[in-house]
Amino acid sequence: MSKVKHVLGISGGKDSAALAIYLHEKYPQIDFTYYYTDTGKELDETYQLLENIEIYLGKKILHLVANDAAESSENPFDFFYKSFKGYIPSATARWCTNMMKLQPFEKFVGETIPTLSYVGIRGDENREGYISKKNNIQSIFPFRKNMWSEDVLHKLFNPENQEVVLDYYNSVFKGEKLDKVAELLHSEITFKRHQRLATDRQIKYKLNGLMDLGVVDFNHATFQFLKGTEYPLSFEEDYALLDNEDVLVRDDVFRILRESGVGVPAYYNKIEYEVDGQKGEYARSRSGCFFCFFQQKIEWVWLYEQHPEKFKEAMAYENLKESFTWNQHESLEELIHPDRIRQIKLDHLKRTNKQKSDDSPYLLDILDDTEGDGCTACFV
Ligand code: SF4
């Protein structure tokens, strides 16, 4: 029996939902615990998605709420908003993620049980997921070609560990392939703080080179290396995902959601708007609080026009005297001035006309450049 706990955070977004479905189908032998960290400020579609996933999985998704807020009669966001004296969170002061997502998660996992945390970052994304500083939590990225987290790679490619890695390859490769592994492992690497970019580049070189020689072998070599560490996987005799070579991208995610019957959250669907006689389409690009400061201006306009009551609720949090606003240099009151809405739509149209692809039923291409903004605790 596994000594490791397998947890999967469902953010309410498409990728983590698809990951839960994918892993449930492909690895029925793994006993996943699903959780959701609630801010109390999501759109109804998110809560509907959670319900649909529960029905599909036949299992409850645990709703985690920060301790202090759990004891209050208010919802989590309102509780913390008051305790921060009305200071609205922002990209640079993101107390919301910390208090309502990360802390409840780490508390739920605890200090001792070795835990694998599955994260739905896709194979077509270029971002890293949240990596806990706790030794008993290890992140796994099953949708990517490289399923290992950055911290594992840093240790794996540290020159002091290369012989352990080479040992594994010695047992499975020979000849030119083995020479190539040795060359990659012995290639230059620096871990000096001020040379972070060089380190990233060198790790990428080694990683891609080894994965080109075989993803499964690379996974087994990494697993072998982890056995000598205190990472949660060192407690496992074997690990089913080592043989997984799947790489899943955005289209796969939508396909999984549709084919499973769980469905795509309605806010991803395009809605038509008109401005100066021209037609455009808008939608929301991600899950998360409806007032999230990471959203684009066109998404605020979408919220105003499609969920006016939520927009009004978002406005009520702003304090213009203190300059506490969701967007820098612009209040929501200013944003919904008709001239401003017209300008935002025209800017959006200009941008989308450049990027639009006719066969996309969602705003996939348009939101490409912004989807990675924010944090993986909220938007995966
Ligand atoms: S969705 Fe946005 S506002 Fe909500 S917790 Fe995450 S970062 Fe904060």
Domain ranges of the chain: 5-149+245-260, 153-231, 266-379
pLDDT at 364: 47
pLDDT, the chain, mean: 91
- Of 62-71, 292-301, 326-335, 357-366, the range with the lowest mean pLDDT is 357-366
Between the CA of 146 and the centroid of ligand 1 the distance, in Å, is 27
In the prediction, which pLDDT does 275 show?
A: 96
Looking at residue 127, its pLDDT comes to 81
96 CA distance to ligand 1 middle (Å): 6
Q: Is 314 in the pocket of ligand 1 (CB under 6 A)?
A: no
Give the tens place of pLDDT for each residue, 78-125.
999 999 999 999 988 999 999 999 889 989 999 889 999 999 999 999
Q: Please tell me if the CB atom of residue 289 comes closer than 6 angstroms to any atom of ligand 1.
A: yes
Q: How far is the CA of 332 from the centre of ligand 1 (A)?
A: 17
Our CA angle for 357, 346, 306, nearest 5°, is: 80
Q: How far is the CA of 41 from the centre of ligand 1 (A)?
A: 9
pLDDT at 320: 93
Residue 2 has a pLDDT of: 72
Mean pLDDT of 354-379: 53
Write the DSSP assignment of 96-164 as a string of letters: HHIIIIIHHHHHHH-SSS-EEEE----TT---PPP--SSTTEEEE-TTSSS-B-HHHHHHHTSGGGHHH
Q: CA 268, CA 371: separation in Å to the nearest integer? A: 12
Q: Is the CB of 99 under 6 A from ligand 1?
A: no
Q: Which fold has domain 5-149+245-260?
A: Rossmann fold (3.40.50)
pLDDT digits (tens, 9 = 90+) for 138-190: 999 999 999 999 999 999 999 999 999 999 999 999 999 999 999 999 999 99
pLDDT higher than threshold 80 for residue 368: no
Ligand 1 midpoint to CA 246 (Å):
30
Residue with CA closest to ligand 1 atom 2: 292
Determine which of 1-10, 229-238, 304-313 has the lowest per-residue pLDDT on average.
1-10
Q: Is 13 in the pocket of ligand 1 (CB under 6 A)?
A: no
For 188-205, the pLDDT digits (tens) are: 999 888 898 999 999 999
